[in-house]
């Protein structure tokens, strides 16, 4: 006979078995590192408890996400969804998502967002998938930096300097997160920690943009880029720097996880040769107070994008 299961918000006493549940599903240390820095985490963490131990969990974090009408929505970002192996197949996550949805509604969230490799888990809870598009291909031929430009990798990144560049570049980008000081102080440095490489472009000594790249043998992924809107030429400087490094390292493939932005598309020949379209179908949304049409307008808008550092 199985023990009765209690579904409820987490408490500090649950932390040891909660972390054990997450460690079984997520070996990366950043899961608990980011969670521990959220002061309101326990009322937004829902757990299935059996015999005094957490066997499944769902956590959400309120986020401010740009919509398709030029405004900003409060969104419930779902993360750290996990079930212990021994407790799977018993409907725990569906029950916990119901509790999370009720709490999001009380918090005033317009809709909910998550990213997953197992979308079937969430369909019965009202989540629907959407697709992001980005290019990939062979790195462009190496060329010298444009005149007046320097692009250097930064080992000690001044994220506070780059934050306004990001905000300006994404000011009208649906699905992008409006980052606050806490994001720049914690979340962005965690997601873009080494071995990710941060390149900063300067023109005549003034910072104009940055790019984040992840290098692996034979492969590079461009994870994020931003420039001041009046300096789109910074994109060519950044892209050509990646192409030069790719040539030096013998890298043959580049995935440019970047939105369909006119400035990016104009500079893309400095990064890719013969690009092909790729898709990311890991995103899912669920309406709460917003209408389904509101969500469709966001996820289907030209240039809509969600940067990796804004994952939860």
**93 in Cβ contact with 58 (< 8 Å):** yes
In the predicted model, residues of the chain with pLDDT beneath 70 are 1-2
pLDDT of residue 124: 95
Separation in Å, CA 134 to CA 24, 159, 163, 225, 227: 32, 25, 23, 13, 18
pLDDT of residue 246: 98
Domains and CATH numbers, the chain: 5-132+281-310 (3.40.630.30), 134-279 (3.40.630.30)
Tally of helices (H runs) and strands (E runs) in the chain:
10, 12
pLDDT tens readout for residues 71-129: 999 999 999 999 999 999 999 999 999 999 999 999 999 999 999 999 999 999 999 99
pLDDT of residue 2: 67
pLDDT of residue 156: 93
Distance of alpha carbon 33 from alpha carbon 138, whole angstroms: 36
């Amino acid at each position: 006979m199985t023990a009765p299961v209690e579904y409820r918000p987490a408490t500090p006493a649950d932390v040891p078995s909660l972390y054990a549940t997450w460690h079984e599903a997520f070996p990366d240390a950043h899961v608990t590192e980011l969670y521990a820095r959220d002061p309101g985490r326990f009322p937004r963490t829902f757990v299935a408890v059996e015999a005094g131990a957490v066997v499944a969990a769902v956590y959400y974090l309120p986020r401010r996400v740009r919509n398709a009408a030029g405004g900003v929505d409060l969104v419930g970002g779902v993360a750290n969804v996990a079930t212990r192996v021994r407790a799977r197949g018993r409907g725990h996550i569906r029950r916990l998502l119901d509790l999370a949805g009720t709490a999001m509604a009380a918090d005033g969230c317009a809709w909910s967002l998550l990213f997953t490799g197992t979308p079937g888990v969430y369909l019965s809870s009202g989540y629907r998938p959407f697709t992001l598009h980005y290019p990939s291909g062979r790195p462009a031929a190496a060329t010298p930096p444009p005149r007046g430009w320097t692009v250097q990798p930064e080992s000690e990144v001044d994220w506070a300097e780059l934050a306004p560049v990001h905000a300006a570049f994404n000011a009208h980008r649906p699905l992008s997160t409006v980052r606050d000081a806490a994001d720049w102080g914690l979340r962005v440095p965690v997601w873009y920690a080494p071995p990710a490489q941060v390149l900063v472009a300067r023109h005549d000594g003034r910072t104009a943009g940055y790019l984040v790249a992840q290098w692996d043998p034979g492969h590079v992924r461009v994870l994020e880029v931003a420039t001041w809107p009046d300096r789109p030429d910074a994109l060519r400087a950044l892209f050509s720097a990646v192409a030069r490094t790719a040539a030096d390292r013998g890298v043959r493939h580049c995935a440019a996880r970047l939105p369909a932005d006119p400035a990016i598309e104009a500079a893309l020949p400095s990064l890719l040769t013969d690009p092909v379209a790729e898709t990311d179908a890991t995103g899912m949304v669920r309406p709460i107070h917003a209408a389904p049409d509101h969500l469709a307008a966001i996820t289907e808008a030209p240039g809509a994008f969600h940067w990796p550092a804004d994952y939860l």
